[in-house]
Chains A and B, each alone.
Chain A
C-alpha cells in the first residue's frame, strides 16, 4: 500500500466548531488532493496541491481551506463546521498529475451535529 495516512479516522463535532483533518504521506509525491464522498455523488474534489504552498480549488471548495507547509502533510480545515459537511473525506496523492498514478488514503468519517 502507498504510504498515506489520514487522521483522525472518525470525528464527531458540533456545528460552528473548527475542524482540521490531516493527510500524511511518506512517498514524497508532489500532488495531494482532498475529496468528499457522499451517497449518490461519487467523489468530489475539494482542493488540491501541486507543491509546497501551492494549492488550488476544486469543485466543492466553499467552506473549506487547505494548507501545505511541507511535502508530506496536507491539511483540510473546516473553519466553522456545518451539518452539510458531514461526509467521508478522502485524501489522495500522486507523483504526477496523471490520473493513473493517484493513490487514496483510508478516509476520515466526519459527523457534524
Chain B
C-alpha cells in the first residue's frame, strides 16, 4: 500500500528557515498536501501542490516537489515561534477528501 514518511522532529532558531521533508511511495499520487496541527487543535491545510508542478510559493511557505525521487519539502522562511506545531505531509491520487494518506508528522520546535 501507499506509504508516506517524515522525520519526527526538527528544531530551528527564530528567524532561520525551516525545511520539513517528506517522501512517498505511491507513483499515482497526484495531489500532495501540507497540514499544520497546533497543540490541542485539528489539522489546518497550509497548501497543496499538483504533481505536474515543481514548486509553489505562498508568502513564507515554499513547497518543492521532486516527482522522480518522490520527495516533497516545505520551507518556512523567517520561522517564528508561532510556527511551532506538527506538520503533516499527505498525498492523494485525486482531489478528494476520502483518499488521503498521511505521514506520521514532523514536530517543529522554534527556539527564541
Contacts and interface: CB of A to CB of B under 8 A. Distances in A.
Interface of A: 31, 33, 39-45, 48, 56, 58, 90, 92, 94, 97-100, 102-107
What's the interface size class on B, roughly? 20 to 34
Interface of B: 4, 31, 33, 40-45, 48, 88, 90, 92, 95-98, 100-105
B103 A42 contact: yes
B45 A99 contact: yes
Contacts of B101: 42
B103 A99 contact: no
Contact of B88 (A42, A56, A100, A105): A42
B95 A98 contact: yes
Between A31, A99, A100, A102, the greatest number of chain B beta carbons within 10 A of the residue's beta carbon is seen for: A99
